Amino acid sequence: MGSLFLPFGLPANLGLGEIPKDKKLRVALVGLGRYATRLAEGIAVSQHCEVAGIVTGTPSKIPIW
């Protein structure tokens, strides 16, 4: 499993402008196991991110999330 980390300053460094202060990074969690649960807990208290979607192969997990 791989991951990608993009610091908030990256768009400005690329000349794409500043990220608006009222915008949040929308994140989709893929695979709803232990790791996704920890990520969701951190995102829930974040001022800069929100969970925008989930991807799971287990339909019974959907109502829980």
Domain ranges of the chain: 22-61
What are the E-state strand segments in 1-65?
25-30, 49-55
**H or E element in which residue 2 lies:** none
Question: What pLDDT score was predicted for residue 19?
Answer: 63
pLDDT tens figures, 28-49: 999 999 999 999 999 999 988 9
- Burial bucket for residue 42 (CB in 10 Å: 0-12, 13-18, 19+): exposed
Q: Is the pTM of this model over 0.75?
A: no
Cα torsion angle, 12, 17, 22, 24, sign? negative
